[in-house]
Amino acid sequence: MKKTFFGASLALSLLLAGCANEQAAEISQLNDRIRQDSILLSEMGQEMTEIDEAIEQVLDYTAAQEGLEAGGIDLSDASQAERLGKIEDIIKASTAKIERLEADLAKSQSSLLNNAGLRRSIAAQKKLLSEQQAEINRLSGRVEELEVENSTLREENATKTAKIERQSNDLQAAQASIQEAENRLMQIQDQVNQAQRQNQAVNDQINREYMQIAATLIEMAEDRKGLFGNGKKQRKEMCIKAMQYLCMAHQRGVYQAMTEINILQGHKKLGKYVKYESCNSVMNK
């Protein structure tokens, strides 16, 4: 935004400067016309002086002519006629010059009237030129301020750019470290998964052993021929022991073990030994 304002201010300054130059040229032309009119007035004044002198000569010759005629001078005399001819020529020339000067005077008066309007126009143009110059000065000052501000912003931008580059490098280094850590974590996770699979295989084997031992004990309790001595006591111990293994398997997540416990407690011959037992009770025996 500041850069746009700087360009707009500079463009406006150049535009005002161009207008000021055009108006200065126009004012110079008007001043030239005024100087020309002043020269013309000076020449007219000189010609008016010459007219006055010519009029005085005419009056003198006229008076002389009247004196000659009154004195009885013969105007048919060649010398007198020549003199009078010269006087008439002077009168004609003076009259023509007076007429020409009167026309020039009328023209000059018209020009002076126009010059009055020109002077007013010049005054208005000078006032406008002064105002525009003041605006140019103000904008020039603002341009200088913006240049200083722009220089400051460039320095700040350079500092921020360097900081961003450092942060970017730090971020890349951190990302590389994270990637290395993720790779190590994946390796560890693979090892854990492998260990879990191995552990699960061991657990499955243990659970199968628990279930198999319980099944063997139940079979032995059902087979009377395999029992010696106090068979009833031995059956009860076998049933309690079988239920203990089934409870351990159930605690390890073998849900089939609870089904086997229910079957054992409902057994026609062996159920009476564990019917009122629970996993908590048999595990404490």
Residue 67 pLDDT exceeds 70: no
The 10s digit of each residue's pLDDT in 83-120 is: 666 667 777 776 777 777 767 766 766 665 566 676 78
The answer to whether residue 195 sits within a structural domain is no
At a CB cut-off of 8 Å and minimum separation 6, what does 142 contact?
9
Residue 149 pLDDT exceeds 50: yes
Query: Is 247 found in the same domain as 123?
Result: no
Which of 42-46, 54-58, 161-165, 176-180 has the lowest average pLDDT?
A: 54-58
Can you tell me the distance from the alpha carbon of 222 to that of 227, in angstroms, rounded to the nearest whole number? Answer: 10
pLDDT range class, residue 243, cuts 50, 70, 90: very high
Mean pLDDT of the chain: 77
Residue where one domain finishes, among candidates 111, 141, 171: 171
Range of the domain at 14: 2-171
Handedness of CA 142, 147, 153, 155 (dihedral sign): negative
DSSP labels, 188-257? HHHHHHHHHHHHHHHHHHHHHHHHHHHHHHHHHHH-GGG--S-HHHHHHHHHHHHHHHHHHHHHTT-THH
The answer to whether residue 21 sits within a structural domain is yes
Q: How many domains does the chain have?
A: 2
The answer to whether residue 210 sits within a structural domain is no
Mean pLDDT on 133-150: 84
Question: What is the number of alpha carbons within 13 Å of residue 16 lying toward its C-beta?
Answer: 19
pLDDT range class, residue 6, cuts 50, 70, 90: very low
Task: Answer for the pair 146, 33: CB distance below 8 angstroms, yes or no.
Answer: no
pLDDT range class, residue 187, cuts 50, 70, 90: very high
Residue where one domain finishes, among candidates 154, 171, 188: 171
Task: Answer for the pair 132, 16: CB distance below 8 angstroms, yes or no.
Answer: yes
Residue 77 pLDDT exceeds 70: no
The answer to whether residue 194 sits within a structural domain is no
The answer to whether residue 186 sits within a structural domain is no
Query: Is 143 found in the same domain as 51?
Result: yes
Query: Is 230 found in the same domain as 161?
Result: no
Task: Map tokens 């890349």 to a residue.
Answer: 172
Residue 278 pLDDT exceeds 70: yes
Mean pLDDT on 114-135: 78
Residue 59 pLDDT exceeds 70: no
Task: Answer for the pair 242, 211: CB distance below 8 angstroms, yes or no.
Answer: no
Query: Is 108 found in the same domain as 13?
Result: yes
| Alpha helix (H) residue ranges in the chain | 2-70, 78-222, 231-251, 256-265, 271-274, 279-283
Secondary structure class of 267 (helix, strand, coil): coil
Query: Is 69 found in the same domain as 151?
Result: yes
Q: Which DSSP symbol is given to 77?
A: S
DSSP labels, 49-61? HHHHHHHHHHHHH
Share of the chain above pLDDT 70, in %: 62
The answer to whether residue 205 sits within a structural domain is no
Residue where one domain finishes, among candidates 111, 138, 171: 171
pLDDT at residue number 110 = 66
Can you tell me the distance from the alpha carbon of 219 to that of 179, in angstroms, rounded to the nearest whole number? Answer: 59
Residue 141 pLDDT exceeds 90: no
Reported pTM:
0.37
The 10s digit of each residue's pLDDT in 212-229 is: 999 999 999 887 655 555
pLDDT at residue number 54 = 60
Task: Answer for the pair 228, 261: CB distance below 8 angstroms, yes or no.
Answer: no
Any idea what the CATH number is for the domain that residue 120 is in? 1.10.287
Task: Answer for the pair 37, 111: CB distance below 8 angstroms, yes or no.
Answer: yes
The answer to whether residue 202 sits within a structural domain is no
The answer to whether residue 188 sits within a structural domain is no
